[in-house]
Structure formats: structure tokens, C-alpha cells
Structure 1
Amino acid sequence: MTAPTQRKFDLEGYRALAALVVVVFHAYQHNRYGADWTWPLQGTLWHDALMNADMLVDMFFILSGFLLGLPYAKAVLGVGKPRPARAFLLRRAVRLIPLYMIVVLVVWSISNPVLPGDWRDLLLHLTFTHVWSDEKIFYTDGPAWTLGVEAHFYLLLALLGAVGQRYLTPVASRRKRITVMVAVPAFLIVISLLYKVWAVYLRGFPIEGWSIWFNPVAKLDIFAVGMLLAVASAAGVRWPNAAVRTLVGLSGGAVVAAGVWLRYAHLPDTFTHTFFGTGIMLLIAATALSTGPGPYWLRWPPMLSLSMVSYSLYIWHEPLLRVLDSAGLLPTPAGGPTAFLVTAGLLLGATIPVSYLSYWMIEVPAQRIMGAFDADGRSRQYYAPLPDPRSA
């Protein structure tokens, strides 16, 4: 297998797509009405499509496993630079924490105007451990549960990357290195599936046991599938032509469709997400492992622009939905499909401008923190003494 060519993957549009769909779904969820919580489009194909929109959250985990695991995989195979765990975690912290902390503190402060307030909720969110609490996992800012899961994955990836670079890089056989690199995420997938079997069939946890179904172990198989894609890319796997690329994409769509069918056949959701993650990975692989350009919509300028602010879009939209609702600016949910469309339009209209403002005022300045550190994640010595000219 030849060494992989160095190129920029046309994948950022996927993040924008996932973020936009999540925003629309939460607008749809907000418009349930009546004593039995009737959905506005219930009984239509649009309702079925929106009720399966949660699979796009899996896309975030797949992209993280792939894009963050790829530099480590390249380093172990000798086709990329070493990646110190310190530098990796510092970059992820700079990318994730500042905006996350601001949103959590702002929303929590508004929700708890009298101190000490719900200090336990604040502590759990600030430490990314709210994903282990049934009561608090969706509290303060519901979408933030995925960021708590991601934080756990970053720590795991830093550990695995450090171990791999330390013990696998010296192995002379490239095939052995690839075998181990495939075995590790495969093992993580098995751990996650065994956990799900234990939770569903041995313990019988209820659907409302949110921390059981949304914690890092339950989502580990999805992240690990993304890691497998990273190994394949680093190992030089490429589709030889457009026909193969199309076949891979169609296979991904078929796996996703199988997951949807199994969901309606009453397979527990925690397992259907394994299908969703695998199918989405294949859809992404059709582009990521191609030597040619991906679909134009991934490179469409408005989509690229939205992908740039997708993190802000994702984390701000639920608080803004609550603000619009409390201000009486949203239509009555009983208005049916029309009310939902208006709600979705107003929410997107409010969230997109706020996302761009948040990106330039919070995310960009936060990323400049990295200027205080070198490539290894160590503090730059700006005031190091000059060398003694007499020693020259």
C-alpha cells in the first residue's frame, strides 16, 4: 500500500449539516402540543425523517475519531510528525473550553439568579461529568452532553496516542503496527457493545436512564469507528476510481437505512446508533479516502462558512430557543406544521448571527492562546537569555 497523499479533506460541511439539522429538530421538539405531546408532522414521512435526525449527532463523534485520530495514526506509521499528548490536549482545551465555559456560566447564572443556586449542576458541567448524571445530563444546556462525552474521548485518545507512539513506532514491521492499530479501536467497539448488552438485557435499565445511554462508554463504539477510518487513511487506503467511491457511499446509506428499519423493528436505540455510526463512517469514507474532490455541497461557500461557526451554532441554539420562548416571540405549538416552520425559521434567524459573533469574539481570541506555547505544548521562553557572544 502506498503512503497516503497529503491533502485537505472536504469534510467540514458535514459539521454544518449536522449542526443545522440538530437546530431544526429541537425547534420541532419544542412544538409538541396537547396532553399527549402530539408532534406537528406526526403521521408523515417528514416526521419520520426528523425523528431519526439524532443520527447526525453520531457524525460529530465519527469526525472527531477520524480527524483527531489521523495525526496519531500517521505518526505511528512514520508518515507524520510525532504528536505530544500535552500539545494535543492543550489544543483541544483551547478549542473546546472557553466557549463552553462562557455558555455554561451565562445560562447557569440566568437560571440561578439567587446564590448558591444549583451548585451541583454547575460543578458537574464545569468538570464535564454531567454525562454521568441522569438528572443533570441535559440540564443548563442540553446539547452540551456531547461536549462532555467528547472531553472523555480526548483524554482517551491522548493516552492511546502516547502509548502507540512510545511502543508501536519502534516496531519494524509496518503490517504489525497496522494490525495493532486496527485491533485497538475494534476492542473499544467490543467493550461498548458488551456494555450495551449488559445495560439492556442483563440490567434492564429504563429508557429514562439517560446517563446509561448517553455516557462515553455507550458512545465509545461510534468514536472508535471513526478511529478505524483514521487508521485506514493513514495506512494509505484510497478508492481507485469514482465507481468504488460511489459503491462505498451507497453501502453507507444502506447501513444507515438498516439502522432506521431496525429502530422501527424495536431494536433498542443504543444498538441502532451503532448502525448509524457505521453507515455514517462509510459515507464520510467515500469522500475522505477518495483521491478526487468530494461532493460540491461540502465545498459550497455558504456551507463552509457555516461549518466555521458550527460549534457556536450548536451550543448557543438551545439557550436562544429558551430566550425566544420566554419573550413570547414563538408561535403557539398547537399551530401545527406552520408553527413549527416559523419556530425553526426564527431560531435559525437568531442563532446564525449570534454564532458568527460568538466565533469572532470568543472562539478566535481563545485560539490565540496557542501562541503562548510551542509545538510540544510547552510555554514559549520569550525572555530566555541571549547566548554569550564570547562562546561563539
Structure 2
Amino acid sequence: MTAPAPEPVSGTRGFLPAVEGLRAAAALGVVLTHVALQTGYTDGVFGRLLARFDLAVAVFFALSGFLLWRGHAAAAHGFRAEPAVAPYYRSRLVRIMPAYLVTVVAVLTLLPDAHGADRAVWIANLTLTQVSVPKTLIAGLTQMWSLSVEMAFYLVVPLLALLAAKLAPRLRIPVIAGVALLSFGWGYLPIPAYYGANPLNWLPAYASWFAVGMLLAEWMFRPFSWLHRLARQRSTLMVVAVVAFLVAASPLAMPGGHHHATLGQFIARTALGAVVAGALLAPLVLDAPGDQHRVLGSAPMVTLGRWSYGLFLWHLAALDMVLAMLGQAAFPGALPVVMVLTTTFGFAVAAVSYALLEEPCRMALRRWEGERRPTVAGCVSSVRDSWTR
């Protein structure tokens, strides 16, 4: 009797539409949390649940870990050459900074609540170092703390890849998982507060969220195993994500009222965020070739995913404009009205940003690289884009 052919390695696929759709869903989660806070939905069970959509940031970090590590995982398993460092940094710079800088300048110049920003605020926000410089998160730009953490991760990815390349392939997953577990102890280290800067806002505190994506990237190139089988139990993983989300919204991981979270609550929230992100991302990247994700992989969600970076950048400014237009923030039924208007305006600006700034900058980089290395750069840049979008 002939043995069944081995299943194709899922990591050999390029662009994953459902992953782009998940990015859009995460962006909407971030918007929902901020709309709820600004419209007064902060108390009771409903307020806790809405505020806990901040775990969308965990999904964003896991997506970054997955997309930026996948090329290195593929190289470790012999599926491609190791990604070059200089093109990687150029692509990250062009992907992130043009739209970001336009947003910062526009918000600090035009948003009334941001008027009066001093030089430290300008420098920290222009350089994406807000989490390291105290009192530089300002109205319209407070969400950028997470982008500051992501930028720190982008900078260290080549170093992490260099260190991981020294490991045997079978050790890569245990080591990444071990580092993720160790990161939960970051808050216990005797790190002095740097003039009020909070070490819990620094990259090591969120290493587990990035590690979730990195581990899934590694697993994409491993033989079919128990994790692939689990990832294809979508209903089971959705239950896991929902339960983890509900626990994260409980007093175990979330303080009541306007109190600050204890270190234990912060660690619980971080661990549960890793579970949520992993449970949502795994079915999209460890699925069987040919599996359909009718919602997240649909054309509208993929389009919104392409615009999601712009929505993230502009949604607080859009929210401020909506609240000013309505004249009051907490009237009965405010949340759905403000949410619809904020996402409408936010996506409108995001679509313009993508069409007139983000995509032209990416295409300009591709042309520049093509002119430098005409024989291979066009192909290389196209493949790289499909693996890191």
C-alpha cells in the first residue's frame, strides 16, 4: 500500500490575505477601546470588556513577529537565503516613517489639544522614542507608544536572527519560547525609572507577544504535527481566545475604576494577550493549503488591512474631531455613533495616505533597488514584500 504524500509545508506560501484581514480587525479593536474611553464607557462589565480590546495591540505585535521572522525561519530550514540586513532596514523605514512623520507634524501643528508641545515632545515623537522619554505622549498621538515598541523590535530583528542562526533548527522553537517565558519577569528586575519613564512600556515587557508570531513562523516550516492539527480546530481556538479575553477583562488582569494595574495584573494581562494573539493567528498561518477564510480573507477586509496602518495613525485625531463636532462625548448611545464616524473619517484619511504616500514610497524604493541591481532586485523586492506585508 502506497504511503500518503507528505503535506506541503505551509510556509512556502507568500502573501496570506487572511493575515491582512486580521490586521484590519486589530486596528478596529484599538479604535473601539479609545472610543469607549472617550465616550465614558469605563465602568461595569461592559466597560471592562470594551477597555480590554486593547489586546488588539498583542495581535499587532504577533503579526509583526510572524511577518518579520518568517524569512529567517525559512532560511533556517533551507527554503530561501537569509534576508539581507540593509534592504530589510530600508523597507521598514519606508513602510513606517513617511506616513508617521506626516501624522506627527499634522497633529502637533493642527490639533488644538496638542498645541503648546515643547521641543522634547516634538523630538521624541519624531524619532519614535516616546516610551523612553517621560511625558512626551500627547493628545492625538498617545497610541504611538505601541509603534515605538514595534520600532525597537524592528531594529533588533537582524541581531536576533544572527543569534538564532547559531542554533540547531530543532532548538530554535524552545529557545524563542524560553525567552518569551523569561520576559514575564522583566517587571521584577531592579531597573531604575529613568526620570519617570516606565520600563513596562519597553520592548522586553512585550517580548512574549512578538514571540507568538515568531514561533508560528518557525512552525510553518516544521513537519505536520499536533500544533498544525490544533490550529485547524478553528472553533476550539476561538473559544480559547474568547475565554482568555474574558479573563483578561476580569480583576485578575485588570484594575477597577481608574487605578493603575499591579505588576501581577500586568503580567497576567500580557500572558493572556499572548494566548489571544496566538489563538487568532495560528488558524490563519498553519492552515491546510487551500483553506478558505471567507471573512478575514475577503476582498473588503484585505483592503481595510492595507489601510489599517493609516487608521492606526489617524484615528485619535479623527476621534477628537468627531467629539468636537458632536459637542459632547457621553450622551446616551454615544459609543456606536462616535465609533461609526471615527472609523469612517479614519479610514477615509487612511485610504488617502495609502494611495498618495505609503504605496508610492514603497514603489519608489522598489524602483531604486531595481536600478541598483537590475537583474535580481525586482524579483527579490517583490518576494520580500509578499513575506513581510
After TM superposition, the score normalised by the length of structure 1 is: 0.80
TM-aligned CA distance change 1:263 to 1:31, over 3 Å: same
Aligned counterparts, 1:158-169, within 5 A:
158-165=158-165, 167-168=166-167
From 9, 15, 23, the counterpart of 1:15? 23
Contact (CA 8 Å) 1:70, 1:234: kept in 2 or not?
A: no
Contact (CA 8 Å) 1:128, 1:151: kept in 2 or not?
A: yes
TM-aligned CA distance change 1:186 to 1:371, over 3 Å: same
In structure 2, what is the Cα distance between the partners aligned to 1:277 and 1:268? Answer: 14
Q: Percent identity?
A: 25
Matched, 1:189 2:180: yes
TM-aligned CA distance change 1:105 to 1:270, over 3 Å: farther
CA apart distance, 1:193: 1.3
CA apart distance, 1:255: 3.9
Aligned counterparts, 1:1-392, within 5 A:
4-5=9-10, 6-7=12-13, 8-9=15-16, 10-32=18-40, 39=41, 42-43=43-44, 45-110=45-110, 118-138=118-138, 141-165=141-165, 167-168=166-167, 176-179=168-171, 181-198=172-189, 211-237=198-224, 239-240=228-229, 244-261=233-250, 262-263=252-253, 267-291=264-288, 292-325=290-323, 328-336=324-332, 338-374=333-369, 380=372
Instruction: Give the greater-gyration-radius structure (CA).
Output: 1
List alignment gaps of at least 5 residues for structure 1. Answer: 33-38, 169-175, 383-392
Q: Which amino acid aligns with 1:305?
A: T
TM-aligned CA distance change 1:138 to 1:110, over 3 Å: closer
Q: Which amino acid aligns with 2:31?
A: V
Q: Which amino acid aligns with 2:208?
A: D
Q: Which amino acid aligns with 2:306?
A: M
In structure 2, what is the Cα distance between the partners aligned to 1:241 and 1:268? Answer: 28
1:166-210 CA distance string (max 9 Å, x none): x45xxxxxxx3231x2244234324421212337xx98x8xxx77
CA apart distance, 1:372: 4.4
In structure 2, what is the Cα distance between the partners aligned to 1:114 and 1:143? Answer: 14
Contact (CA 8 Å) 1:85, 1:161: kept in 2 or not?
A: no
CA apart distance, 1:111: 5.4
CA apart distance, 1:212: 2.9
List alignment gaps of at least 5 residues for structure 2. Answer: 1-5, 256-261, 375-389
Contact (CA 8 Å) 1:128, 1:147: kept in 2 or not?
A: yes
In structure 2, what is the Cα distance between the partners aligned to 1:253 and 1:117? Answer: 40
Contact (CA 8 Å) 1:3, 1:235: kept in 2 or not?
A: no
Q: Which amino acid aligns with 1:224?
A: A
CA apart distance, 1:117: 5.3
TM-aligned CA distance change 1:284 to 1:210, over 3 Å: farther
Contact (CA 8 Å) 2:92, 2:154: kept in 1 or not?
A: yes
In structure 2, what is the Cα distance between the partners aligned to 1:31 and 1:113? Answer: 17
In structure 1, what is the Cα distance between the partners aligned to 2:47 and 2:58? Answer: 20
Paired residues in the alignment total 353
CA apart distance, 1:128: 1.7
1:9-28 CA distance string (max 9 Å, x none): 32111111111121122122
Contact (CA 8 Å) 2:31, 2:343: kept in 1 or not?
A: yes
Contact (CA 8 Å) 1:245, 1:290: kept in 2 or not?
A: no
In structure 2, what is the Cα distance between the partners aligned to 1:140 and 1:332? Answer: 18
Structure 1 SS opposite 2:53: coil
1:20-58 CA distance string (max 9 Å, x none): 1211221221112xxxxxx37x43x53232021111111
Q: Identify the range of structure 1 (245-254 vs 118-127) with the bigger mean alpha-carbon deviation.
A: 245-254
In structure 2, what is the Cα distance between the partners aligned to 1:211 and 1:148? Answer: 13
Q: Output the aligned Cα RMSD.
A: 3.1
In structure 2, what is the Cα distance between the partners aligned to 1:91 and 1:153? Answer: 14
CA apart distance, 1:164: 3.9
1:236-259 CA distance string (max 9 Å, x none): 446348864544444444444443
Q: Which amino acid aligns with 1:332?
A: Q
1:232-282 CA distance string (max 9 Å, x none): 112244634886454444444444444344325974134312222123213
